[in-house]
Structure 1
Amino acid sequence: MKRFVKFLPAFLAAALLAPGHLGHLLAVTPPPTNSEPAKPSSITATDLFGDSVVAKGKGLQIKRSELDQAVSMQSQAGAQSQGIPTAQLDKSALDFLIRLHLLLAKATDSEKSNSRVLAQKVFDDLRARSGSEETINRQLRLAGLSKEAYLAQQADRMTADTVIRREIKVNVTDADARSFYETNAARFEQPEMVRISHILLSTRDENTGAELSSDLKAVKHKKAEDVLKRARAGEDFAKLADEFSEAPGAKQNHGEAKISHDDQSLPVEFKAAVFALSTNQVSEITTSAIGYHIFKLWEKIPAHKLKFDEVADNLKLALTNKAQQAELPHYLEKLWKEADVQILDEKLKK
């Protein structure tokens, strides 16, 4: 249930993403959206020392090239900008790879096959939301990834998730879920929301993310004016969104969305415009840092508390994931010992 998603990040962030856990394996990562191409490092450790084996164990071998790639991905995700030393980044990436390999070694061929199918489905859904496969491929190229490499990474993460769920048995009952619901009532309060449709005429270059020139922005604004006239003349807003909107996913959801005042991911101008509308009203053209927006408001949803029946299934899943994450370090330590993992690079041992 989409409304329940707002609750999950606050509740599960620590469990799924805590340092030393493998929680980031459980998340299916969308392609990066960097506006600038990733800057390759001038010289990698592989360039200097060859593709040596940096860690090994029973059924496990990690080479320097694989570690370099993992470090590069962490760097692109912003780890270096947070001041993490390179040596620590190397050790963190190696720890991640060892844990991933240990889990993948426990997977069946059927589980791996199912994960590849699911990874492709997720990619297809992303492609539908973005409007074209080229849009996603362009984002992947900016991060130095091929489609095949991205799909392989996502399949591995899904396989690791499957192994965790199979191997770490947790039984969360309806009573457990209801107890959490009743003792954490504030977490289930939903703020006022609006259901809208949205058309975006972007003022950013689709390849680089750079701001368009004044002349090109003027062309986009003129197009927005024409679309606004047609919307106010009574044309089907969903069809206009399908035809003109450049927002990600517009062609899949016809520009429709639910938003709240609490949504920090949206521009202030965006929220101010939609919450000022009356039902069935079409907005003026709203300008933000990413382009020109036109909104139509369909429904205002008053603040309310989610009922237990609405959240029960997702709540049980969240509590199960949390309990599994609590046991995960112990399970991984067991696998580490059984595989007799050895780190061969002396610098990575320290």
Structure 2
Amino acid sequence: MRKYFIATTLVALVVTGCGDRSSLSDSSGGPPAPDSGAIDFPIGTYMNCAQGMHNPDGNIFPNIAGFESGAVLTLAQSGRTVMATYVDQNGVTEAFSFSATTSTSATLAQPGQVIPGFVGLCVMGPGSERRYPARMTVTAGALTYDAGTVFVTVTGGLEADAGSCGTESLPAASFWILCKDRQGGALAVDAVEAPVVQLPVGQYACGSQVATYDHVNGMNRYVTGGGSGTLTLAEDGGKVTAQYSGDSSLAGTLRLVPTTSTTARAEAGQSLMTPCMVPVGMGGPSQTPEALPIAAGSLALNDSTLFIAFAGTMAASSSCPGAQVAGSVLCSK
């Protein structure tokens, strides 16, 4: 069963470990793949993953987010078709088919795919509830790559056969996967910037999901959190700026370079503000926002849902130096 959280809370899971996991850094290698006449996407196996599921009603289908210990994302390509196969920490497999649009972006090729691995709740009274397997029917999605990180974002409806509660359903929910540490596959090719792109500027109502992993005193510490805020997307000389505010879990502005009319990548050398959520002292996690250098970031528009996903590592000067942070801002107008 997947771990989950209500987006306005902070939850820590501590597991005894014997050593650091590798940092969020690209380890791709090998010669470029031969030219097949198709767009070459950075295929391979990505070993360091985080994920999240977000929906307007976190009661029947609880929101989930966090780093996934042992999860693996494998990308394979045939022509313009890119297959993304994700195996989470519980061994649940989810497979998506995408059609490459550039060397770093692809769109969902087969709407209507049904993916497992979610949770539905049947509440029978105060303090009495049962969990049932839930599934998502995917209607739209995007696959993007930036600076050694792959982002999978999909939207669709949720459904569960919830015992005495009958069939529970929700028409709109969003699921994201973020993975790094690539093993094998062709070297990535920088995206060609779209010459004329009109991304949907304006204000959006959003929810954030922020996952943190750190290894402290021989223990692996996993924390998830999030909140809600407002995203303002604005044009800036052929690029766009995404300013996020009003959320105590995440704030700041990212400059984005459009790659298609529905996708963009983050420029290098930026940061967002977020608290160090892993325990840093007797008082527990810090509530003071600190700078998170962004190693990779991506924007994707799926139907009416706007995703901004990101990954980074807290700086040496922070109160949780070396902590890995990954997350997303999921928005609608």
TM-score, with length taken from structure 2: 0.20
TM-score, with length taken from structure 1: 0.19
Larger Rg: 1
Instruction: Write 1 or 2 for the structure with the bigger share of helix.
Output: 1
